[in-house]
Copies of this chain bind each other. A is one copy, B any other.
Amino acid sequence: MSDQNPLFIPGPTNMPDRLRHAMQVQTRDHRAPDFVDTLLPVLDGCKEVFGTKTGHVITFPASGTGGWEAAITNTLSPGDTVLVARYGMFSHRWIDMCQRHGLDVRIIECDWGAGAPADRFEEALRADSVHAIKAVLVTHNETATGVKSDIGEVRGAMDAADHPALLLVDCVSSLASMPFEMDAWGVDIAVSGSQKGFMLATGMAILAASPKALAAMDDATLPRTFFDFRDMMQSNATGGFPYTPPLQLIYGMRESLKMLAEEGLENVYARHHRLAEGVRRAVRGWGLQLVAQSPELYSDTVSAIYVPKGFNSNALTDHAFKAYGVSFGVGLGEMNGKAFRIGHLGSLTDVMVLSGLATIEMAMADLNYPIELGDGVSAAQEYFRTSRAATLKSAA
């Protein structure tokens, strides 16, 4: 019967019925004259979520990882240099992808738990007087560590260095849950997916590309066909797709955008913040530490939480799953065994969050963690209770 328990992984997220129904659309003809009326408003509607007026939205039937590959193959050439900071599993994987595509990757190593180091980026960019660096790659929200980086600061660093590199940003686990300002931050390509803040099934990579990024396509010689921006944009222009489109996800996205608009993006962000803060109060109640090193880095979509010395976080998430039928995020990469994660994004309420906190609290008690039942839950309850009035509208 555990299917009815919510899950607390940082995506894919709990899908609301309304979106499950929207995605259950029977097959329609993607070459029929009316498909254009479906596709173009969806692409256009994503712009507000990306915070862009000048960007171009492009979608592929793929996961977010496919979106990354599209971002680099459409803008870079073999041997090009890119600058990346490694501070978690997803920045690590993006580095690996770049290397496998023959890029020269300059890596800034950071602690896991830190955010994008704007100052060290600036330093590196200033040192690159020949402008060998073609792109700076940043992960907005490190899903592995629960760290949200300040993209505006990275842009500031690039501007301070007066460097023309492209700014490519992974916002897979932040978009539609936390504020994202593509235009204001000067992001050239933002990469996201359907299965996080959009509350849909996995299977659609969603990107937004700036005019500067699109211009870079002309010189980019990394091979690409499936992920080619130009093919996609040309087909999209007349409502088509260069191959069979993921119809169900396009209809799902149409409805997701409606849901986000009905709640209001500001309310969506406020709701995520409130739920995240409730989780953080519980963490404090348990006397545990977040992986994120400081409050300004706290992610509103996922919290990575160190287990006490002598405990194995994998044993905790395993136990929670087997004993109570609830999924939490395991520790990834360097955090494996050291931290577990609570995803708190998408279609979620304070009530659902409390069931997750109550569950992991029981699991910790079962495994003799030095906590008392109620330590975390009551702290979250108190916060939810007292913060409710301010955000009642969004929680309704």
Interface residues of A (CB under 8 A from B): 1-7, 9, 11-18, 20-21, 23-33, 60-66, 68-69, 73, 78, 96-97, 100-102, 193, 195, 201-203, 222-228, 242-249, 263, 271, 318, 321-327, 329-330, 347-352, 354-355, 358-359, 361-362, 365-366, 372-374, 377-378, 381-382, 384-385, 388, 392, 395-396
Chain B residue at minimum C-beta to C-beta distance from A389? B323
Asked whether B15 lies within 8 Å of A26 as measured between CB atoms, the reply is yes
For the complex, give the distance between the alpha carbons of A14 and B3 in Å. 12
**Max chain B Cβ within 10 angstroms of own Cβ: one of A30, A247, A351:** A351
Q: Which residue of B60, B271, B377 is within 8 Å of A374 (Cβ)?
A: B377
Q: Which residue of B15, B27, B62, B322 is within 8 Å of A226 (Cβ)?
A: B62
Count the copies.
Answer: 4
Asked whether B4 lies within 8 Å of A352 as measured between CB atoms, the reply is yes
Contact A62/B65 with A27-B15, A100-B224, A247-B201 known, Cβ cut-off 8 Å: no
Shortest distance between the CB of A345 and any CB in chain B (Å): 12
Shortest distance between the CB of A237 and any CB in chain B (Å): 18
For the complex, give the distance between the alpha carbons of A66 and B246 in Å. 13
For A60, list chain B residues within 8 Å (CB): 62
Shortest distance between the CB of A61 and any CB in chain B (Å): 5
For A385, list chain B residues within 8 Å (CB): 362, 365-366, 373
For the complex, give the distance between the alpha carbons of A255 and B11 in Å. 24
Asked whether A362 lies within 8 Å of B381 as measured between CB atoms, the reply is yes
Chain B residue at minimum C-beta to C-beta distance from A99? B225
A-B residue pairs in contact (CB < 8 Å), sample of 24: A2-B349, A4-B347, A7-B27, A9-B31, A14-B26, A17-B24, A24-B24, A27-B201, A31-B330, A33-B318, A65-B226, A68-B226, A202-B244, A202-B246, A203-B203, A222-B223, A325-B395, A326-B351, A354-B358, A362-B381, A365-B382, A373-B385, A377-B377, A377-B381
For A6, list chain B residues within 8 Å (CB): 4
Shortest distance between the CB of A317 and any CB in chain B (Å): 9
Q: Which residue of B21, B63, B381, B396 is within 8 Å of A358 (Cβ)?
A: B381
Asked whether A350 lies within 8 Å of B324 as measured between CB atoms, the reply is yes
For the complex, give the distance between the alpha carbons of A2 and B385 in Å. 16
For the complex, give the distance between the alpha carbons of A119 and B46 in Å. 52
Q: Which residue of B102, B201, B224, B225 is within 8 Å of A246 (Cβ)?
A: B201
For A25, list chain B residues within 8 Å (CB): 17
For A263, list chain B residues within 8 Å (CB): 1
**Max chain B Cβ within 10 angstroms of own Cβ: one of A13, A26, A193:** A26
Asked whether B12 lies within 8 Å of A27 as measured between CB atoms, the reply is yes
Contact A361/B347 with A66-B226, A69-B225 known, Cβ cut-off 8 Å: no
For the complex, give the distance between the alpha carbons of A317 and B140 in Å. 41
For A362, list chain B residues within 8 Å (CB): 381, 384-385
For the complex, give the distance between the alpha carbons of A327 and B29 in Å. 6
Instruction: Give 9 closest A-B pairs by Cβ, nearest first.
Output: A374-B374, A29-B327, A374-B378, A355-B355, A65-B243, A354-B358, A373-B378, A97-B225, A101-B223
**Max chain B Cβ within 10 angstroms of own Cβ: one of A17, A271, A318:** A17
Chain B residue at minimum C-beta to C-beta distance from A196? B244
For A78, list chain B residues within 8 Å (CB): 223
For the complex, give the distance between the alpha carbons of A97 and B223 in Å. 9
Asked whether B61 lies within 8 Å of A63 as measured between CB atoms, the reply is yes
Shortest distance between the CB of A184 and any CB in chain B (Å): 28
Contact A351/B5 with A61-B203, A63-B243 known, Cβ cut-off 8 Å: yes
For A323, list chain B residues within 8 Å (CB): 388, 392
For A201, list chain B residues within 8 Å (CB): 27, 246-248
Could you list 15 further interchain pairs (A-B, Cβ under 8 angstroms) beyond the known A4-B348, A97-B226, A202-B245? A5-B352, A12-B30, A13-B27, A15-B26, A20-B24, A32-B321, A63-B244, A69-B225, A102-B223, A195-B244, A202-B248, A203-B246, A222-B223, A355-B355, A373-B377
